[in-house]
């Protein structure tokens, strides 16, 4: 038989069967399932470390500011010409503005039109990006944002979105609030927090008595509890600009009782009332976190040690309180770091505060001269 007429033998080359292929795919799937959480955890650990570095930089910048001016940065949460006050044109600048030279952002600082930021038309220029203030407000400073933050507040978007922020300065608790062990009937107190607060004038709603301690500057000399026992700056999640996010930590609330604004309101009762009856108010919530530079009280640049981290924020009952007494709101520290928030102390150290922190310890960390005994093992 010739070679041409020989029957060809079938090709015996090795190949995967369908079963073998499915087994390999299943094994790869299992390996990916095991590795993906580890990769995500590693990424979150990196983001958390970067966030911690931001807080440390900001707190050290606060120290440098204090060295220069012998006080903490001023949070000018209203304008000098509010209520027709002949106070000039300054104001409406958050505590971030004064910190800029100390976080290597002198060029941005020198571009701010300080003499006109507190005039009545300042908001229009910012919102429409038709002023120098509006231009500067759209410059994002990476140090002011937590890398874990996944939401952008775009409530002001004409001509570009205003640059958001993640970090709030400690304003303690409302001047109207009492600790459970305090007696009623005392004089209106100054803010128990560490940030210097100034409305730029003392006109407006509420009595002269209530307004008399609105504008106060504080220095390290006032932190009698010790720098290592007093909170400085903590994280807070932003709203997306809609005012009605499903994640309630990103919204601002009120309660029908208005207890958060009551004279001699016991802080534990404010907490119980807030947790059981909070309601979102969209016209407040939509501005939360939208501009690190500009403030008229709605953006919420300061937080309170009233509710423990990652619960809810009771901003106020009336808009006059939102605008004129920002430090008296119970804005709560919050973050997307699993299990808690990052917070710096006034000595420059940074701690991860768990959501389960003892409530009285949390209250104590918010006061600069409350004379509470803070056990470091509790946070």
Closest by Cα among 77, 150, 130, 123 to 336: 150
Query: What is the model's pLDDT at position 79?
Result: 85
The domain segmentation of the chain, as residue ranges, is 38-378
What angle is formed at CA 26 by the lines to CA 22 and CA 32, rounded to 5 degrees? 145
Structure tokens at 376: 């470091």
Q: What is the pLDDT of residue 214?
A: 83
The rounded distance, in Å, linking the Cα atoms of 233 and 94 is 14
CB-based contact 285:239 (threshold 8 Å): yes
Torsion sign across C-alpha atoms 230, 233, 238, 241: positive
pLDDT in tens, 76-104: 988 888 776 666 788 899 999 999 999 99
pTM of the model: 0.88
Side-chain-side CA neighbours of 213 within 13 Å: the count stands at 14
Task: Provide the pLDDT for residue 252.
Answer: 97
Question: Residue 45: enclosing H or E segment and its boundaries?
Answer: helix 18-69
In 1-88, the DSSP E strands lie at 74-79
Block mean pLDDT (10 aa), the chain, length 379: 52 66 79 70 84 98 98 92 73 96 97 91 92 96 96 96 98 93 77 92 71 88 96 98 97 96 93 96 96 94 98 92 86 96 98 96 96 81
Kindly list the distances between the CA atom of residue 32 and the CA atoms of 26, 36, 43, 179, in Å, as whole numbers in the listed order.
Answer: 10, 6, 16, 52
């Amino acid at each position: 038989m010739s070679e041409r007429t020989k029957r060809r033998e079938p090709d015996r080359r090795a190949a995967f069967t369908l079963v073998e292929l499915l087994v390999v795919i299943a094994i790869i799937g299992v390996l990916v399932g095991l590795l993906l959480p580890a990769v995500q955890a590693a990424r979150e650990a990196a983001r958390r470390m970067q966030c911690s570095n931001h807080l440390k930089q900001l707190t050290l910048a606060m120290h440098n500011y204090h060295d220069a001016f012998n006080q903490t940065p001023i949070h000018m949460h209203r304008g000098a010409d509010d209520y027709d006050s002949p106070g000039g044109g300054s104001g409406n600048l958050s505590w971030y503005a004064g910190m800029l030279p100390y976080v290597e952002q002198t060029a941005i600082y020198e571009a701010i039109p300080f003499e006109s930021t507190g005039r009545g038309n300042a908001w229009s220029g910012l919102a429409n990006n038709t002023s120098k203030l509006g231009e500067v407000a759209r410059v994002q400073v990476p140090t002011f944002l937590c890398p874990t933050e996944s939401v952008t507040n775009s409530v002001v978007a004409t001509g570009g979105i205003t640059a958001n922020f993640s970090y709030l300065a400690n304003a303690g608790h409302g001047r109207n609030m009492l600790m459970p062990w305090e007696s009623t009937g005392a004089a209106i107190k100054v803010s128990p927090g560490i940030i210097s607060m100034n409305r730029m004038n003392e006109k407006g709603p509420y009595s002269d008595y209530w307004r008399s301690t609105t504008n106060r500057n504080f220095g390290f000399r006032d932190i009698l509890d010790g720098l290592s026992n007093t909170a400085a700056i903590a994280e807070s999640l932003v709203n997306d600009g809609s005012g009605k996010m499903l994640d309630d930590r990103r919204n601002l609330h009120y309660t029908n009782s208005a207890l958060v604004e009551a004279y001699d309101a016991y802080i534990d009762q404010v907490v119980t009332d807030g947790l059981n009856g909070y309601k979102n108010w969209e016209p407040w919530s939509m501005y939360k976190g939208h501009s690190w530079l500009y403030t008229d009280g709605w953006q919420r640049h300061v937080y309170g040690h009233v509710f423990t981290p990652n619960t809810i924020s009771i901003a106020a009952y009336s808009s006059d309180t939102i605008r004129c007494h920002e430090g008296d709101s119970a804005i709560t520290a919050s973050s997307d770091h699993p299990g808690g928030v990052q917070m710096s102390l006034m000595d420059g150290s940074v701690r991860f505060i768990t959501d389960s922190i003892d409530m009285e310890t949390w209250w104590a960390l918010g006061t600069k001269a409350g004379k509470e005994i803070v056990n470091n093992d509790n946070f």
